[in-house]
Amino acid sequence: MTASPPAPRPAGAPLGPTLATQLRHTARCVRAVEQGQSLSEVMPQVAAELRPGVQALTFHVLRHLGTARALVDQLVQRKPDAAVQALLCSALSLMLEDAEAGSASGLHYAAHTVVNQAVDAARQDRSTARQAAFVNACLRRFLRERPALMAEALRHPVARWNHPTWWIERLQRDHPERWQAILAANNQPGPMTLRVNRRQIGRAAYQQALLAIGVASNPVGDDGLELDTPQPVERLPGFSQGHCSVQDAAAQMAASLLLEDRHWTAADRVLDACAAPGGKTAHLLERAEVSLLALDMDARRCERVDDNLKRLGLRAEVRCADASRPATWWDGQAFDAILLDAPCTASGIVRRHPDVRWLRRASDVDQLVKVQRGLLEALWPLLKPGGRLLYATCSVFRAEGADQVQAFLERHTNAVHRPSPGHLLPGSAAPAGEFNDNPLGGHDGFFYTRIDKVAP
């Protein structure tokens, strides 16, 4: 069956950005990450009309950066300057023979097209213009010698798995039977999952509203819908009216785990200790009428919490404060429940933040473990006897999850661990159990455990 030709472009309609233009900006983003900047800081600097395409390309490059770097090392005699290196890595990432990754990212370009557009991109940028011929020679050599170059590159673990060596080795220790599945899952884009605001609309009704605009979805968890195809939030029915939020299914588990097996009222005091951007805060309020205090150290992030609550029609006290220093914000009244979604390496959400793996250092783990321990110690005295604390991190590293909680339980005789999911791993399968690895499939990696406070 012959495919229909594309519809003609209306007269006067603007042309979209060329691949060369997008590659030029992608290379700048990749270079910024290699210099230690987060994409959340870099991407807003890209022009709005270029941002969707540049973000898609940048994510793809960062998911293949280990392979691309190994190829560049073979293609050059002397390491090129950072701008040329970033452009070569960006182009090579689009030329890899990785049908699965290409299909998952939706990026399909003929290899010779990538070469030509990369050379154009080099010419367009002052920092690479003099190296355009060099870029052309490197990429054309890759086309000629692809099998041998790829075979040599993939001998190295960083190139094969596209994660730093220390990260790979830590996963091998923490999850010896599943480390490969975790790394493979990290290199695939995560699905778009919504949390339906049950105060506004039922999940089944919202699923029908999505179908009415041609968007299929599947229920996940108590309030979630995983979309078959990601959508801009502006297209989601009732988004501005607070009918739904974008939140991964693993993150949606927090509310159920903290609130389960008891009735909650407005007299119950709940603390969300590290609340921004407010997804879990909002879900708690969608699920229960409680008096909730949401803290975050960053004033701008507190504004995001306020904005999210306002859109969803919810109320909480939002305060800019350091949860680890209760003397600066606590009124002396104990809490019935505390959610501590602690700062961590974010090693479980690499699918959605592919820059994290290249920004983190091995030493960050130990530093963050100290921060987490400090928060646990500071907040535990604020919990009523009979109250509960849900400790959560978006990490798959045991030091930030199972090991952290085990050490806490050993220090506190009035702390009792309740049956909890433990480590949730993306793209793996494992039995449930205390501190064991549970399957996640389409979800992000997370750690959850609930600790109850008993009377002395």
What is the DSSP pairing of strand 446-453 with strand 383-393? antiparallel
pLDDT-flagged residues of the chain (< 70):
1-15, 97-106, 427-441, 456
In this prediction, residue 428 carries a pLDDT of 41
* Residue pair 51/145 in contact by the 8 Å Cβ criterion: no
Best CA proximity match to 412, nearest among 420, 400, 404, 421 = 404
**Peptide bond between residue 277 and the one before it cis (omega within 30 degrees of 0):** yes
In this prediction, residue 5 carries a pLDDT of 36
For tokens 């590659």, the residue is: 23
In this prediction, residue 108 carries a pLDDT of 80
In this prediction, residue 260 carries a pLDDT of 95
What is the C-alpha to C-alpha distance for residues 276 and 321, in angstroms, rounded to an integer? 12
Domains and CATH numbers, the chain: 19-162 (1.10.940.10), 193-246 (3.30.70.1170), 253-453 (3.40.50.150)
Residue type present at position 339 = L
Residue type present at position 361 = R
In this prediction, residue 426 carries a pLDDT of 86
Task: Report the half-sphere exposure of 169 (CA within 13 A, side-chain side).
Answer: 5
Using DSSP, state whether 286 is helix, strand or coil. Answer: helix
Residue type present at position 45 = Q
Say what angle helices 111-124 and 19-34 make with each other, to 10 degrees: 70
* Residue pair 250/446 in contact by the 8 Å Cβ criterion: yes
SS3 content of the chain, % helix, strand, coil (to 5): 45, 15, 35
Residues with catalytic function: 394
In this prediction, residue 99 carries a pLDDT of 39
In this prediction, residue 161 carries a pLDDT of 98
